Structure 1
């Protein structure tokens, strides 16, 4: 009787405390799914004051890490994940997160496991190998000042049509292809026409004759359209080529001079 009177009240108090945390967890989950991260953190801070055990602490830390990760607070998120994983290394996130957050969580889990394995082997205080600092770069002496250039230092000659001439092949190729396609369509139209005039055996019914005539007309219009587009393409190619013919060379002159303290640049455009 005395034992039951002593233990039962403590069990009831623990159950009441656990029941007080659960509504906050439900609220946090709902706020997280609605992307209300700041309010979810407020609810977490209230729930932490009512936590009654390690399991609830782990769950609260996992929620906190996920929310902070979505807020972009990476270091705080990893600290919350570590607080949960050091207590329960196999814990899983209680909510569905993005692949990026999931990958970061698993990376923290690997770090925690390595640390725990090192502690188990007695290597927790092993010195960390720090790479030697890189040698500072050797200063490069300043290059001596270049002597002043005499007037009429250089003359550049440009040809404006060279680039246009090299680009004339593209419309020519397209135009030629369109002409070939027009020729093929014309031959198909003539074939259908020959079937109609020669009473082909495949034209057994009136519907067959109508379909053959429709195909011939379609091939004919397609041939005319492709041939016209091909002629246009060839005309564009010829125009580009003619406009890009090399003309009289243009001269670009630049003069550079100095009086010992300043530099002067002058020139003329074509």
Structure 2
């Protein structure tokens, strides 16, 4: 993971934002926990904010802050980005505080017990009804993240296509054209793969919410070999 983050930092300094996003997409498959996820989401937010993708940047920053509300940006940024990040941090902390208060209120609410309870009054199904729905959150988060990453990759591929169609001045020779075509194809393939996996995860979450969930835990890994995107493992 660390070599990718160093590469992203250098590309950011060189204003090579599209290449930095490509590195982040590749690095996602190497994430080994919350710390890596936070670092990747913070860099995604910074790069997208530099490209003036305000909504996408906000989504990436929030993804990091919900995992680690006190997270700090890895590099110095412009006042515009810093103000956006600080504002989102306040929103996230406020949202988490409200959730905590709601949980505390539910815990403090007294529950009346019947004088003579019977087995028929509280069937087992009623006691376990919330469990499948709570488990549906994991595939929903995974699906949403994959779909968002796929959207970013697809948008970048459209940027390469626009360069080719509009005869961008940076495409001065055949070699630069070939590189642009190759990069566009890779981004397009990756975007389609990620969005497909994201739709699968969101569909599974909906099914789990409505119909129930299996007991096994799932694991999913995501990667690309430079020409195609692949998802392996099993979802819960």
Q: Same fold (TM over 0.5)?
A: no
TM-score (norm 2): 0.43
Greater fraction helix? 2
TM-score (norm 1): 0.38
